Amino acid sequence: MQKKVLIIDDDPDMLKLVKVNLEAKGFKIYATHSGKEGLAIWKKDQPDLILLDVLMPEMDGLSFMREVQSRTDLKNIPIVVLSAKEGIRELFTMDGIVGHVSKPFEYDELLSIINLHLQ
């Protein structure tokens, strides 16, 4: 069965790069630039894994995670944080966060973390 990955990142170039590379590896990708849209996709399509940027307009990654933690029915989806910002350690210890990849990142590193948490 095809694994579903939701990418939430406000950088259109990053969104496209990750989406294209993961689709080439056989993943079903849902991509959005907004935390609010990400929540709607998360609730409707229940991805197997979420790649989450932290600094975004409208709804940042921390607000997204607070919403995730309030929903026990959808809480067990692993989340990998993608961020260039290092001073946000409190987010990385929240329930559901299984990994962190610093931007810019090596694509192989990201793929390795994704595969680890989708086995």
All domains of the chain in start order, with CATH: 4-117 (3.40.50.2300)
Q: Quick check: 31 and 15 in contact, CB under 8 A?
A: yes
Give the percent of the chain with pLDDT over 90.
Answer: 43
Entry pTM: 0.88
Q: How far apart are CA 108 and CA 94, in angstroms?
A: 25
CA distances from 76 to 44, 60, 65 (A): 15, 20, 12
Q: For 9-38, how does the pLDDT look when each residue is reduced to its tens digit (9 = 90+)?
A: 999 999 999 999 999 999 999 999 988 999
Buried b (16+ CB within 10 A) or exposed e, 10-25: bbeebbeebbeebeee
